[in-house]
Amino acid sequence: MIATPNKHVPRHQIVPLGQNRARISSIGARSFLLEAPGDFDLASQRRIWALSQTLKGWADLAEIIPGMTNLLAIFRETPEEPEQIIDRLCAAWDAAQSIDLSGKTIEIPVHYGGEFAVDLAALCDLSGLTDQEVIRLHHQGTYRVFALGSAPGFGYLHGLDPRLYMPRKTVPSLKMEKGCVTIGGMQTGVAMLTGPNGWNSIGFAELQMFDPLSPMPAMMAPGDTVRFVPERIEL
């Protein structure tokens, strides 16, 4: 039975975030966003991966979209009793055991500096580090793919050294090139499309990481390990 409009879930937070308690918000009438409590870390993401496996057994779900320490559950129909959905999601989260996804290791050759590193100087000013130190800290990191999104094949990577955290731009670059190696907040990644982008570019990678004609278009997958390898440094 489809709920009448006055029973639609309002677009606001339903269950507040508390200690060891997930936050659940409604996104329209059929979708619920669950956000993990605690830090933005691998432990939280492992529980999100476990929750995703559990929800695959729910016949009334149309789609499950794991994100960065969060998960969007889209139901086939608007629930007549949203509170029951909230209770089910909370119970599933509480029961979720941490799992790890066994992924592959991807090495991405990077040209650090040069014409595409348009934000390297700003990152140095913000962090107080030299350009050599920024590059060293970035390529010495080991990163895990938490989720794919934003653009086809784009991997949200965890593991950036805190000294390299840099807020996203308030005014995006209008035409950042596909392949730019970027930092946005506490994450790093590689631009998949040429166009507006609010992340901060420190280099460039020529490796093709998304091929729509391939049986597996995206090179990255959740659980993969990523290493950035300096192919050239131009300062």
* 190 found inside a domain: yes
User: How many other CB atoms are found less than 10 A from the CB of residue 106?
Assistant: 18
Q: Which residue has the tokens 């909230």?
A: 86
Which of the listed residues 95, 119, 134 is the one where a domain comes to its end? 95
Q: What pLDDT does 21 receive?
A: 82
Q: What is the pLDDT of residue 24?
A: 94
**Structural domain of residue 163, as residue ranges?**
105-234
**Long-range contacts for 76-85 (Cβ within 8 Å, ≥24 apart)?**
76/30, 77/2, 77/3, 77/30, 78/2, 78/3, 78/7, 78/8, 78/9, 78/29, 78/30, 79/3, 79/9, 79/30, 80/1, 80/2, 80/3, 80/7, 82/7, 82/9, 82/14, 82/26, 85/32
Q: Residue 161 domain-assigned?
A: yes
Query: Does 28 map to a domain?
Result: yes
Mean pLDDT by 10 residues, the chain (235 residues): 34 55 91 92 95 96 95 96 93 93 95 98 98 98 94 94 97 95 96 96 95 92 97 96
Which DSSP category does 18 fall into?
Answer: B
What CATH number has the domain bearing residue 215? 2.40.100.10
Specify the pLDDT at position 38: 86
**Same domain membership, residue 229 and residue 130:** yes
Residue 146 sits in the same domain as residue 229: yes
pLDDT attached to residue 131: 97
Instruction: Give me the number of domains the chain comprises.
Output: 2
pLDDT recorded at residue 15: 55
Shared domain check, 188 and 119: yes
Q: Distance (Å, rounded) from C-alpha 178 to C-alpha 204?
A: 9
Residue 134 corresponds to which tokens in the numbers above?
Answer: 């920024």
Residue 65 tokens, joined: 């979209």
**DSSP 8-state symbol, 3:** P
Closest CA to 51 of 68, 64, 38, 61: 64
Say yes or no: 86 and 187 in one domain: no
Per-residue model confidence (pLDDT) at position 2: 29
Residue 100 lies inside a defined structural domain of this protein: no
Task: Quickly list DSSP for 160-205.
Answer: --GGG-BPPPSS-EEEEPTTEEEEEBTEEEE--SSEEE-SEEEEE-
20 and 88 part of one domain? yes
pLDDT at 111: 98
* 60 and 123 belong to one structural domain: no
- pLDDT, position 19: 55
Are 78 and 145 members of one domain?
Answer: no
CA 33 – CA 68 distance, rounded (Å) = 12
- pTM value? 0.85
Q: How much is the pLDDT for 102?
A: 83
Q: Is residue 187 part of a domain?
A: yes
